[in-house]
């Protein structure tokens, strides 16, 4: 599956997702795109999932009719995300197009 990380998603998470082809917005030169533009470009480029830490995305964007699935992480903290990476990988393994999933990454996991 093609996965795109936005600016807030820690890039080292990609090492815990070996079954997916992960790119970052920064690597693609998309770091200056606004959320709507980023979603549009990601879908146009064939990405199936956007992993973001923008918890306001669903309030800022009309997600109806999108083909890309969106996974929202509750933190940008790599130490916290790292300890919960297996759960994130499990979510990505079963995600469906046009899904919107928020993952609460516990503080003391």
Q: What pLDDT does 56 receive?
A: 81
Q: What pLDDT does 88 receive?
A: 96
Per-residue tens of pLDDT for the chain, all 109 residues: 999 999 999 999 999 999 999 999 999 999 888 878 999 999 999 999 999 999 888 777 767 788 999 999 999 999 999 999 999 999 999 999 999 999 999 887 5
- For the whole prediction, is pTM greater than 0.85? yes
How far from the centroid of its chain's Cα atoms is residue 41's Cα?
14
Q: What pLDDT does 29 receive?
A: 95
Q: What are the tens digits of pLDDT across the range 48-65?
A: 999 999 988 877 776 778
Q: What pLDDT does 109 receive?
A: 53
Domains for the chain: give ranges and CATH numbers: 2-103 (3.40.50)
């Amino acid at each position: 599956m093609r996965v795109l990380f936005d600016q807030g998603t820690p890039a080292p998470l990609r090492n815990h997702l070996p079954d997916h082809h992960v790119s970052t917005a920064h690597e693609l030169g998309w770091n200056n795109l606004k959320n709507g533009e980023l979603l549009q470009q990601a879908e146009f480029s064939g990405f199936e999932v956007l992993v973001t830490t923008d918890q306001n995305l669903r309030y800022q964007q009309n997600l109806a009719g999108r083909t890309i699935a969106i996974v929202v992480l509750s933190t940008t903290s790599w130490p916290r995300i790292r300890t919960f990476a297996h759960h994130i990988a499990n979510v990505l393994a079963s995600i469906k197009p046009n899904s919107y999933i928020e993952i609460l990454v516990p503080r003391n996991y």
